[in-house]
């Protein structure tokens, strides 16, 4: 054999990247052994520990950093020498190209470490050129991406990885299936598995394996006819039956019914024999819902897989994942995200994205926040950026005080609820949206509009949605008047498995995409008590569970219900809990007689009365008075304007005024003091009258 030192060494891309990092670390000088070791530990700590008994990568890396900081580099080993040592390792194993494992072995033996057996892992390029054309056509090689460091490093999930490795080492049924909610990190675990195998930190039986990800829909896209489909699948099975190939099929439930009759000639039926014999090693992933719906009914297919449950991470477990992902993104974008902002982002995702799972929701919010900053040509993500992005994603109220003020003014200006009702509603929302309520899992407010007030509920829902959640269409409307039989609960939560309509989308599912909204429940008094009890449990627990087992959270909603038949005489009932009306009628007894004691007790506010026309008349009169004052102000060079808050303040000040002169006196007295400093001014100016902290103020516009 030709001497390795006499030929040009051939190194794969992973080895070349490792050498490049060593050169960068050593600067202009020739690298020493400490440079080689630290670079290896930084990029391939798992592989290093797999090759060397008793070595602990983290402690050794700290020791090497200290030595290099003191100017100690260890024995000088040039790049050329180390390349030839790695190449010699590859030739000794019968391979013409050196891999990362070979270079790692060369570095460690040069430093005097005794090695365990070197993983027999042929390069991905060599595998790709030896009879797996169908795999290359239909999928992508995760092992190649792992070698090229294009996969995100996995943090945690050691138990799930270990179970998957054990299952893959079986003789039969070596097919793990990861089952868990969407966004919990199932695909990330498979990518972590590919990285473990690529680095050699895996059982010896798997060290030569390559992980290939296959999209089932790609098969249908390539096969134009039934005969083409069967031929293509057989070619795929033949290639994937090689001992060094592991398939990964995400969304494995798509196999059912694909390409033929379910259970007879579809893709799942064609794969079953190879899966059962152990000829084919396959990793799969799907959600709990899809597994129950598609995989469990096919008992033969279910037996082929070994379930591995993947639970969503907690906020604390997600933090290191978020830190790692943030470091990767920031290296490529030169963007900064401080640890404080990351923690704030994590807390916001935890509290305001309950319909989604960790770590996916936190990663999504992080990447969107960084993209938001980059689009603005800035380099640092702030807390304000995160809040703004989150508001756009879920409709969360941004400025609480501004939103509540806008809501109050709009309700007042449209004369849609009584003054007492508006005050009570503002008080309730202030408590819940500030996070001060005793039961934060419940809706932000649970409101019942009855009698004549129920006719205005639709407009009330639109006003709350527009002012609190940013858009009038953030209203989810359910008509409980249609649910008059016990079985009509299916109209609310869906049909049970096996029944018609089981897989149909429901109106209530809009809560998944739009958790911050108004849930508008019409005619709650007309539905069957069984249906009402389901809603009652949802109010208490903070979520409804549909027929497929999916939780739909109510905790970020404002729940608005109507019961027109209750309170036929609104003038004698008023606002629930208002002491002034208790002597006229007992509201809770009236509600309990129709809806039940427990349901009535869960209502935060119950509105019966509608405001009198007098308020609307007074508003118009005040507008006319202010317009007259504005005309007189122009004689002094003042352009006067005002907003609804000032009119609302006047109405609050003189709610029981009986005569025109009473209103005029309030307007005169309120304007005289705040406008007098500008009357004798030499320059023309524009003055806006608003109300702040319960008092009118004049602001001069520039």
Q: Note whether 388 and 418 are same-domain residues.
A: no
> How many other CB atoms are there within 10 angstroms of residue 619's CB atom?
19
Give the ranges where 437-501 is alpha helix by DSSP (H).
457-469, 489-493
Q: How does pLDDT run across 619-644, given as a tens digit for each residue?
A: 767 777 787 788 778 877 888 888 87
Q: How does pLDDT run across 477-533, given as a tens digit for each residue?
A: 999 999 999 999 999 998 876 677 666 778 999 998 888 899 999 999 999 999 999
Q: Note whether 563 and 460 are same-domain residues.
A: yes
In this predicted structure, the answer to whether residue 249 has a pLDDT above a threshold of 90 is: yes
Question: Up-side HSE of residue 467: CA atoms within 13 Å toward CB?
Answer: 21
Our CA angle for 106, 111, 116, nearest 5°, is 60
Residue 4 has a pLDDT of: 43
- The span from the CA of 296 to the CA of 290, in Å, is 9
Q: Is residue 438 part of a domain?
A: yes
- The span from the CA of 173 to the CA of 645, in Å, is 71
Q: Which residue has the higher pLDDT, 49 or 1?
A: 49
Mean pLDDT calculated for residue range 543-562:
90
> How many other CB atoms are there within 10 angstroms of residue 583's CB atom?
7
Residue 59 confidence class, pLDDT cut points 50, 70, 90:
confident
Residue 7 has a pLDDT of: 52
Q: Note whether 564 and 690 are same-domain residues.
A: no
The whole domain housing 631 covers: 613-701
Tell me 295's DSSP state.
Answer: I
- The span from the CA of 182 to the CA of 251, in Å, is 10
Average pLDDT over the chain, rounded to an integer: 83
Mean pLDDT calculated for residue range 366-389:
93
Nearest to 245 by CA among 218, 283, 217: 283
Residue 53 confidence class, pLDDT cut points 50, 70, 90:
low
In this predicted structure, the answer to whether residue 340 has a pLDDT above a threshold of 90 is: yes
Q: Note whether 540 and 415 are same-domain residues.
A: yes
Residue 575 has a pLDDT of: 40
CATH number assigned to the domain comprising residue 95: 1.10.1780.10
Identify the domain boundary among 607, 628, 648: 607
Q: Which residue has the higher pLDDT, 590 or 604?
A: 604
Per-residue exposure over 280-305, b if at least 16 CB sit within 10 Å of its own CB, e if not? bbbbbbbbbbbbbbbbeebeebeebb
Q: Could you tell me the two tokens for 372?
A: 């938001």
Question: Up-side HSE of residue 3: CA atoms within 13 Å toward CB?
Answer: 2
Residue 581 confidence class, pLDDT cut points 50, 70, 90:
very low
If 0-12 CB within 10 Å is exposed, 13-18 middle and 19+ buried, where does residue 419 land?
middle
Mean pLDDT calculated for residue range 223-252:
86
Q: Note whether 632 and 562 are same-domain residues.
A: no
Q: Is residue 644 part of a domain?
A: yes
Q: Could you tell me the two tokens for 683?
A: 């320059």
Q: Note whether 96 and 132 are same-domain residues.
A: no
Give the ranges where 98-181 is alpha helix by DSSP (H).
100-110, 124-128, 133-138, 142-147, 158-168
Cβ atoms 520, 458 nearer than 8 A? yes
CATH number assigned to the domain comprising residue 625: 1.10.8.60
Residue 338 has a pLDDT of: 95
Mean pLDDT calculated for residue range 468-473:
88
For the ranges 40-49, 530-539, 611-620, the maximum mean pLDDT occurs at 530-539
Q: Note whether 278 and 340 are same-domain residues.
A: no
- The span from the CA of 212 to the CA of 201, in Å, is 18
The lowest-confidence range among 19-23, 323-327, 534-538, 611-615 is: 611-615
For the ranges 195-199, 302-306, 623-627, the maximum mean pLDDT occurs at 302-306
Identify the domain boundary among 110, 140, 157: 110
In this predicted structure, the answer to whether residue 583 has a pLDDT above a threshold of 70 is: no
Q: Is residue 118 part of a domain?
A: no
Q: Is residue 39 part of a domain?
A: yes
Nearest to 223 by CA among 264, 263, 270: 270
The lowest-confidence range among 65-79, 86-100, 597-611, 685-699 is: 86-100
- The span from the CA of 117 to the CA of 50, in Å, is 9
Q: Note whether 293 and 337 are same-domain residues.
A: no
Number of domain units in the chain: 5
Q: Return the SS3 of 544.
A: strand
Residue 471 has a pLDDT of: 86
Q: Could you tell me the two tokens for 692?
A: 């702040």
Q: Note whether 132 and 230 are same-domain residues.
A: yes
Q: Return the SS3 of 283.
A: strand
Q: Is residue 642 part of a domain?
A: yes
Tell me 260's DSSP state.
Answer: S
Q: Which residue has the higher pLDDT, 400 or 691?
A: 691
Mean pLDDT calculated for residue range 567-580:
44
Mean pLDDT calculated for residue range 52-61:
77
In 201-305 the beta strands, taken as DSSP E runs, fall at: 210-214, 245-250, 282-286
Residue 398 has a pLDDT of: 61
Q: Note whether 377 and 505 are same-domain residues.
A: no
Residue 647 confidence class, pLDDT cut points 50, 70, 90:
confident
Nearest to 191 by CA among 216, 218, 160, 166: 160
Identify the domain boundary among 580, 607, 634: 607
Mean pLDDT calculated for residue range 71-91:
88
The lowest-confidence range among 113-117, 236-240, 327-331, 403-407 is: 113-117
Q: Is residue 173 part of a domain?
A: yes
CATH number assigned to the domain comprising residue 588: 3.40.50.300
- Count, residues in the chain: 702
Q: How does pLDDT run across 99-157, given as a tens digit for each residue?
A: 888 898 899 988 888 786 544 443 334 334 346 888 888 888 998 888 877 888 888 89
- The span from the CA of 312 to the CA of 103, in Å, is 38
Q: Could you tell me the two tokens for 166?
A: 């054990």
In this predicted structure, the answer to whether residue 579 has a pLDDT above a threshold of 50 is: no
- The span from the CA of 199 to the CA of 208, in Å, is 10
Residue 188 confidence class, pLDDT cut points 50, 70, 90:
very high
- The span from the CA of 653 to the CA of 658, in Å, is 13
Q: Note whether 169 and 27 are same-domain residues.
A: no
- The span from the CA of 300 to the CA of 256, in Å, is 12
Tell me 293's DSSP state.
Answer: I
Cβ atoms 641, 686 nearer than 8 A? yes
Mean pLDDT calculated for residue range 674-683:
74
Q: Note whether 70 and 96 are same-domain residues.
A: yes
Q: Is residue 590 part of a domain?
A: yes
Q: Distance of CA 5 to CAs 2, 11, 33, 76, 304, Å? A: 9, 14, 20, 18, 51
The tokens 């966004």 sit on which residue? Answer: 183
Q: Is residue 192 part of a domain?
A: yes
> How many other CB atoms are there within 10 angstroms of residue 505's CB atom?
8
Q: Could you tell me the two tokens for 365?
A: 């919010």
């Amino acid at each position: 054999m030709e001497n390795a030192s006499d030929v040009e060494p051939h190194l794969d891309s992973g080895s070349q990247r490792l050498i490049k990092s060593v050169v960068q670390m050593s600067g202009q000088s020739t690298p020493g052994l400490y440079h080689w070791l630290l670079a290896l530990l930084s990029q391939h700590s798992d592989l290093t520990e797999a090759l060397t008994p008793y070595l602990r990568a983290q402690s050794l890396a700290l020791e090497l950093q200290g030595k290099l900081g003191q100017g100690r580099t260890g024995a000088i080993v040039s790049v050329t020498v180390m390349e030839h040592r790695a190449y010699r390792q590859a030739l000794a194993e019968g391979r013409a190209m050196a891999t990362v494992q070979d270079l790692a072995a060369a570095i460690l033996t040069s430093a005097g470490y005794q090695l365990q057996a070197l993983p027999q892992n042929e390069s991905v390029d060599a595998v790709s050129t030896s009879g797996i054309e169908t795999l290359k056509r239909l999928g992508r090689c995760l092992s190649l991406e792992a070698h090229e460091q294009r996969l995100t490093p996995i943090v945690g999930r050691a138990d799930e990885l270990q179970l998957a490795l054990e299952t893959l080492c079986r003789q039969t049924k070596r097919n793990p299936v990861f089952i868990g909610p969407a966004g919990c990190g199932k695909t990330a675990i498979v990518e972590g598995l590919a990285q473990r195998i690529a680095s050699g930190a895996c059982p010896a039986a798997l060290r030569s394996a390559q992980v290939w990800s296959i999209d089932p829909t790609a098969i249908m896209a390539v096969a134009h006819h039934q005969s083409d489909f069967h031929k293509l699948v057989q070619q795929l099975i033949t290639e994937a039956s090689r001992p060094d190939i592991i398939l990964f099929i995400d969304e494995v439930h798509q196999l059912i019914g694909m390409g033929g009759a379910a259970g007879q000639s579809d893709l799942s039926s064609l794969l079953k024999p190879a899966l059962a014999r152990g000829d084919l090693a396959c990793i799969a992933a799907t959600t709990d819902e899809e597994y129950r719906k598609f995989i469990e009914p096919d008992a033969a297919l279910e037996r082929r897989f070994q379930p591995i449950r993947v639970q969503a991470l907690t906020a604390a477990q997600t933090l290191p994942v978020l830190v790692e992902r943030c470091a990767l993104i920031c290296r490529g974008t030169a963007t900064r995200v401080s640890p404080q902002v990351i923690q704030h982002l994590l807390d916001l995702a935890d509290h305001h994205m309950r319909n989604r799972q960790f770590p996916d929701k936190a990663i999504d919010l992080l990447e969107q926040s960084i993209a938001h900053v980059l689009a603005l040509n800035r380099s640092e993500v702030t807390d304000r950026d995160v809040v703004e992005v989150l508001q756009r994603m879920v409709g969360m109220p941004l400025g609480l005080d501004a939103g509540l003020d806008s809501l109050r003014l709009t309700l007042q200006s449209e004369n849609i609820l009584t003054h007492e009702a508006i005050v009570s509603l503002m008080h309730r929302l202030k408590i819940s949206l500030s996070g001060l309520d005793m039961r934060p899992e419940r809706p932000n407010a649970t409101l019942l509009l009855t009698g004549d007030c129920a006719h205005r509920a639709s407009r009330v829902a639109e006003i709350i949605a527009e002012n609190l959640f940013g858009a009038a269409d953030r209203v989810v409307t359910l008509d409980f008047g249609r649910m008059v039989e016990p079985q009509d609960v299916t109209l609310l939560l869906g049909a049970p498995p096996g029944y018609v309509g089981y897989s149909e989308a429901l109106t209530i599912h809009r809560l998944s995409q739009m958790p911050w909204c108004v849930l508008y429940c019409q005619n709650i008094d007309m539905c069957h008590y069984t249906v009402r009890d389901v809603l009652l449990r949802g109010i208490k627990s903070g979520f409804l569970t549909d027929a497929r087992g999916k939780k739909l959270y109510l905790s970020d909603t404002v729940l608005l219900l109507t019961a027109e038949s209750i309170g036929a005489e609104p003038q004698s009932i008023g606002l629930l809990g208002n002491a002034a009306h208790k002597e006229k009628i007992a509201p809770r007894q009236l509600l309990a007689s129709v809806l039940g004691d427990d349901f009535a007790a869960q209502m935060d506010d119950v509105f019966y009365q509608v405001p009198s026309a007098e308020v609307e008349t007074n508003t118009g009169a005040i507008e006319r008075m202010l317009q007259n004052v504005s005309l007189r102000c122009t004689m002094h060079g003042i352009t006067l304007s005002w907003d609804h808050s000032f009119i609302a303040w006047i109405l609050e000040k003189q709610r029981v005024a009986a005569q025109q002169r009473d209103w005029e006196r309030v307007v005169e007295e309120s304007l005289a003091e705040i406008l007098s400093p500008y009357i004798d001014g030499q320059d023309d100016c524009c003055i806006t009258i608003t109300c702040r902290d319960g008092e009118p103020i004049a602001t001069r516009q520039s």
